Each structure stands twice: as C-alpha cells, then as structure tokens.
Structure 1
Amino acid sequence: MSAVVVPGSTPQWLLLDGPSAPEAAQRVHAQFADAQCFALFEGTELHGLREHGPLLVDLRQSPALASLCHLDPRAWPGLLLVSPKPAVQLLAHLRRMLTVTLGLHHKALLNYYNPHTASYFFDGCDSHELSCWLGPISLLRWFGGTWADRAIGSQGWQQLSNPGLSVAALEKEHGLSDRQQGQLQRCLLERHAWQWSLSTGRDYRRLWEDLQQGLALGFTERTVLDDWLWLRLQYPDARPMPGPEGGGSQRERLDRLRRRWQGRQG
C-alpha cells in the first residue's frame, strides 16, 4: 500500500461509508439523484440496516460527484473502485466481504469500507490474499491512513492494485488470517489511543506508549486499561515494575499499583 496522488485509472464507483457519514449519503440522494445507488446491506443479514449502511454509487453517471470525491475526500469518506465487471458481480463480491469468521466459532462484520479500517486490513494481506479479497476490483483508492497517521496529520491518498493471481473466489464468511486479525486489533487499539489523546490533550505518541505499557503489565480488560491510562495521566513519571503487578485480578493489581504511586507522591 502506498500514498499516491490522484491521477490514474478513473474510479467508476464510490463505496460510501454511510455509517460514519450519514449526512454524505443524504447529500448523494439530494444532490445527485440521477446517480445509480445500491445499498450494500440490502439482501444480506444486515438488510434491516440497509438505509444506514454503506452505499455503492455509480460515478460514471455523476462526474461532478467523482470530482468532489477527489477535491474534498473527507466529506465523502469511503473507497473509490475500478472494476471491469458488471455491477451485479461487483455487488455480490462486496457483500461477501461484509461477514468474516475469526477462529472456529466467531463471526463479525468487517467494515472494510471505512478508510481507517481499510488502511489496516488490506495492509495485512499478502499478494494471494489481496487477489482473493479484491476479486473483481482492479484498483482500490481511498483518502486516509491509520489512526496514528490521523493523530500526527499525515493522512493521504492510498492506492491498491489487484495482483491478479490465480486464487479461489472469496468464500462466504471468509476466515481471517492471524496477521489480518492482528491488524484489525491494532486498528481498535490505535483508535482508542487517538480518542484518549483527543479528549485529554495528551500527545498521541506518549499516550500510545502508555497504552502499550498497560497491556504489557497485563491490563487487557477495557475498563482496567482505561483506569490505567487515567492513572498514567496523574503520574506521568512513575515507573511500574516490569511484568504483571503481583497476583490477583487485573483490578486488584492496578489498585495496588495506584496505592504505591500515591504513597510515593505523598
């Protein structure tokens, strides 16, 4: 994956990230009524949410919208697609991408249409996996990056070309590799650090280090990890002992650490 400038194959489709920008979907219907649109969730197990889900928009009928996607990409978040295949084939593939399996017993929605998620997920694919996941898509482009990129103001245009290797078609509820799952987990953690940085004003890089330190200490439960981050804000220079903080539950270990730091402060 690489940051690129816009020139290249003209995108034929916009897969609009409606869940994160419902106002953009409303603008499509109001300002570009002639553009053919498909609700991605329609006919899937998420059919009931189709009006609030992603929207596949045919840009060939609306060059003005295609220009806006390039000029003001933050107002039209999502993926720009080039595909030589008919719309029905592209839609079927995009809908298969929605639901994935994690391990043997867990199923999840993959919001790959979100530019942040795309920046992690597709980066976790090798050339064979990418050929499978892109399928009928020859070129994929979006404006964004990781949450860390956003925190330091280095988002930009990203582009992926389909390697076109001979691979099996994407299965329904396709399984994710360990690397792909790891990338998505990192996406969640970096988003959490970004949200904390935004709400507290603490430098993102320092907050990410604090979060990583908390995980290394065994504070993996969401509420305990959040309390650890809050404790770190109060005692930025305190140094915990390496490794898990004694025995007991995560909450008990964090409480012992808090009491020790409070004692030293006094």
Structure 2
Amino acid sequence: MSAADMSGSVPRWLLLDVPGAPAAARRLQEQFAETRSVALFEGTEFHELREQGPLLVDLQHSPALTSLCHLDAGSWPGLLLVSASPAAQLLAHLRRMLTVTLGLHHKALLNYYNPHTASYFFDGCDPGELSCWLGPISLLRWFGGTWADRAIGSQGWQQLSNPGLTVARLENEHSLSDRQQRQLQQCLLERHAWQWSRSIGRDYRLLWSDLQQGLKLGFTERPVLDDWLWLRLQYPHARPVPELIGASQRERLDYLRQLWQNNQG
C-alpha cells in the first residue's frame, strides 16, 4: 500500500519502535542520515535507555522514508502521526504517555509505540479517553494487529482519528481504566501464546485454547502456567478434574500431573 492509497493527511512523524526492531535505528542512520529524529526517552526517567528506546522521526522533508513506512512497514515499525501542533508540544505529550499508573500504587512503562500494544491499548479507549490520550495527534496509523492476528496472518493497516472531545489534558502518570488494563493483560497473554506456538510448532488456536483452560483451572502464575502447557502437551486427551487438591497453584498442578500419570499407567 502506498502513501497515496491511505486516506487522510500525510503523516508528519514516525514514532519508530526501536525496541521492537533494533536494526531500524541503524537503517535510519545509514539510509536517512539527514532526517531529524529525537530519542523519546531523552530527559525522562528512562533517559539511560534512550539509545535503545523509540525515536520520533520527522518525515516532513523525507518523502522516500514516508513511502517506505507504507511499502515496507515491517522494517519501519511504529506509529505514523498526523499533528499540526509544534514539535515540542507533541514531544511533551508523547513523553507523558510513557508512564502510567495501575491501581493505586503501581507505575509502569506503556510501550504504546509498539504496533501490537497499540492494537490492544487504543481499542480499550472510549471516545473521551481517546481524545485525552491522542491530545495534539489528529490521526494515528500503524501496520499490525493483535498477536492472534499475527498468528493467523491477518495483520493490516489500523487507523484512529482523534474524536476531538473537550477533555482534561493527559496527566503525568495517567491512571489506566479497568478496560485498558484488561486489554493490556490480553496482549501479554496472547503474546505468550504466540511465542509458545512459534517455539514448539503448535497451532496458535490450539495453544491458546490450552492456555485458556489453564487459566480457568487457576494457574495464573507464569511458571505454573508454563508447566501446565507442557503437561497438556504430554497428555493432550486427558480431562482435568473439577476440583484440584493443594494449597498452592504448584501443588494443585502436581496433583493433576500425578493423577494423569496414574491414569496412563
């Protein structure tokens, strides 16, 4: 798909997901040395990681790079931004988006610049929240989708317009809604299932079904959930019992393992 095929305004900025594609920063320096870019982590609490963090790339005088972002999105992953605001204002907003609050006491880095994360996070925003999070950004585009989309080969171009509702400015360490947190948790789970399916060559949909079954059995701790997936691979046709005995998740999984081993014998 070419830039001309995309509806709406021509993007002014690329928020390049360097953490997701480390080679992209090197390609930028080698192929577009004159193109202006700013490290998003510069001057933030993540300053020490600035060279490994995302870059805000000015596309205004680089039509060749703009075209590549559409023609070879896999090599230039990230978010394409349309904004009429001054660069300093946009940059300040993007940096405010980095740190979020989960619940009352937990703080986290939000890697919204990753196309997969964006596909979950922004889908968890209502129009008011979207107006707040996009702020000076009028249009947002990226090539990607969910991890499930990637697993079945159905990624594509995503586009979001700022609803433009009158809302309060995005706060520092903005609090995430319950829906946004659920979306991000779904992102982590589906990524885990995708990584498993890739590493062992199992169909993603079957692996996701196994993972969901493990969660329903109460195996929410990551090491225990992983061991459950291994156990399910060893006993694909065994049926879990309604009640598992044990004080901890590990003990309940061990109980189930012993039960299945004895039934096999």
TM-score, length basis structure 2: 0.97
How far off its partner does 1:8 sit? 2.7
Q: Which amino acid aligns with 2:158?
A: Q
Per-residue Cα deviation, 1:69-105 (whole angstroms, up to 9, x for no partner): 0000000000000001010000000000000000110
Q: Which residue in 1 is equivalent to 2:258?
A: 259
Q: Decide whether the 8 Å contact of 1:17 with 1:78 is kept in 2.
A: yes
Counterpart CA distance in 2 for 1:260 and 1:182 is 34
What secondary structure does 2:141 align onto?
Answer: strand
Q: Which residue in 2 is equivalent to 1:116?
A: 116
How far off its partner does 1:247 sit? 3.2
How far off its partner does 1:29 sit? 1.5
Q: Which residue in 2 is equivalent to 1:147?
A: 147
Output aligned runs, 1:74-113, within 5 Å. 74-113=74-113
Q: Which amino acid aligns with 2:20?
A: S
Q: Which residue in 1 is equivalent to 2:16?
A: 16
Counterpart CA distance in 2 for 1:240 and 1:50 is 48
What secondary structure does 1:75 align onto?
Answer: coil
What secondary structure does 2:157 align onto?
Answer: strand
Q: Which residue in 2 is equivalent to 1:167?
A: 167
Q: Which aligned segments of 4 or more residues in structure 1 are displaced greater than 4 angstroms? A: none
Output aligned runs, 1:1-266, within 5 Å. 6-242=6-242, 244-266=243-265
Q: Which amino acid aligns with 1:33?
A: A
Q: Decide whether the 8 Å contact of 1:34 with 1:61 is kept in 2.
A: no
Counterpart CA distance in 1 for 2:172 and 2:198 is 38
What secondary structure does 2:60 align onto?
Answer: helix
How far off its partner does 1:134 sit? 0.1
Q: Which amino acid aligns with 2:256?
A: L
Q: Decide whether the 8 Å contact of 1:38 with 1:57 is kept in 2.
A: yes
What secondary structure does 1:143 align onto?
Answer: strand
Counterpart CA distance in 2 for 1:193 and 1:49 is 28
Counterpart CA distance in 2 for 1:214 and 1:90 is 43
What secondary structure does 1:108 align onto?
Answer: strand
Counterpart CA distance in 2 for 1:174 and 1:104 is 11
What secondary structure does 2:74 align onto?
Answer: helix
Q: Decide whether the 8 Å contact of 2:246 with 2:255 is kept in 1.
A: no
TM-score, length basis structure 1: 0.96
Per-residue Cα deviation, 1:105-147 (whole angstroms, up to 9, x for no partner): 0000000000000000000000000000000000000000000
How far off its partner does 1:241 sit? 1.9
Root mean square deviation of aligned Cα:
0.9
> What number of residue pairs does the alignment pair up?
261
What secondary structure does 1:90 align onto?
Answer: helix
Q: Which amino acid aligns with 2:204?
A: Y
How far off its partner does 1:34 sit? 1.4
Counterpart CA distance in 1 for 2:261 and 2:245 is 17
Q: Decide whether the 8 Å contact of 1:140 with 1:159 is kept in 2.
A: yes
Q: Decide whether the 8 Å contact of 1:36 with 1:61 is kept in 2.
A: no
Higher relative contact order (CA 8 A, sep 6+): 1
Counterpart CA distance in 1 for 2:244 and 2:67 is 55
Per-residue Cα deviation, 1:16-51 (whole angstroms, up to 9, x for no partner): 001111111111122111111010000101111111
Counterpart CA distance in 1 for 2:222 and 2:259 is 22
Q: Which amino acid aligns with 1:25?
A: A
Q: Which amino acid aligns with 2:18?
A: G
Counterpart CA distance in 2 for 1:203 and 1:103 is 35
Q: Decide whether the 8 Å contact of 1:10 with 1:82 is kept in 2.
A: yes
Q: Decide whether the 8 Å contact of 2:245 with 2:251 is kept in 1.
A: no
Counterpart CA distance in 1 for 2:153 and 2:10 is 27
Q: Which amino acid aligns with 2:176?
A: L
Q: Which amino acid aligns with 1:262?
A: Q
